[in-house]
Amino acid sequence: MKRIFSLLLALMLAPAAWAVGGPYQEGVQYEVIGQQGTAKPELKEFFSFYCPHCNAFEPVLHEIAQKLPAGTAFKKYHVDFMGQAPQPIQQNLSEVMVLAKLKGKDESVNKALFKHIHTDKKRFGSTEEIKAVAVAAGLDAATFDKDIKSFAVQSQVRLMQKEQKTLSEAKIMNSVPTLIVNGRYKLHVDKLDAADIKGDLAALIQFLLTK
């Protein structure tokens, strides 16, 4: 745990220039979790708004995602197995995250949800409290209740829950954040270069995207 925290701190302090890392080895910086990759290149992050490491990781991964190769999808999947809150509250956070993405407000809403929990040190005791934060961060109050129940939102949340269950049962995901490239490679962030963790992570992702 201390190793992960130190790496996340290094992520925040690392210089802006990204060096090319490597060489990367299976079983060290990454592991193979599937025989066949996704049809199109993608980087997927499983995270929780309740996870302090995910909170520290958020701006770093956002920056890396902005510089992914053209045609590479970045997908954020919110999990609902954390012990800090009831599952319905965590599921509602997943719904709000998906809705914010669909409305083009994901950056501001995600930041506000993280801030509420980790900076302001407040609990979400109801879905109405979550709604208030999300609306203040840019979602439309007039259509929020209808939008959150829409097929587009609910189908995506069910997909996230299905993948979460599959990876958890397969012992592939037992903590967050978990990063997976092309549905085939799970990254071991704690094995990267602490002196330039941001650059090493970006280089590892690039390496696996083309592997």
Average pLDDT of span 92-104: 98
Decide which of 114 and 194 is more confident.
Answer: 114
pLDDT of residue 102: 98
CA angle 62–141–160, rounded 5-degree value = 45
Assess whether pLDDT exceeds 80 at residue 4: no
Pairing of strands 178-181, 185-187: antiparallel
What pLDDT is stored for residue 194 in this prediction?
Answer: 83
Q: Mean per-residue pLDDT for 112-134? A: 98
168, 167, 188: which is closest to 179 by C-alpha? Answer: 188
pLDDT in tens, 22-44: 789 999 999 999 999 999 999 99
Boundaries of every domain in the chain:
1-14+30-79+173-211
The fold adopted by the segment(s) 1-14+30-79+173-211 is: Glutaredoxin (3.40.30)
pLDDT, the chain, mean: 91
pLDDT digits (tens, 9 = 90+) for 124-178: 999 999 999 999 999 999 999 999 999 999 999 999 999 999 999 999 999 999 9
- How many Cα atoms within 13 Å fall on the side-chain side of residue 168? 13
Mean pLDDT of 47-62: 95
Q: What percent of the chain has pLDDT over 70?
A: 90
pTM over 0.95: no
Q: What residues are paired with 186 via a beta bridge?
A: 31, 180
Task: Answer whether residue 61 shows pLDDT above 70.
Answer: yes
Mean pLDDT value of segment 86-112 = 98
pLDDT of residue 31: 97
Structure tokens at 49: 């708004």
Averaged over 90-113, what is the pLDDT?
98
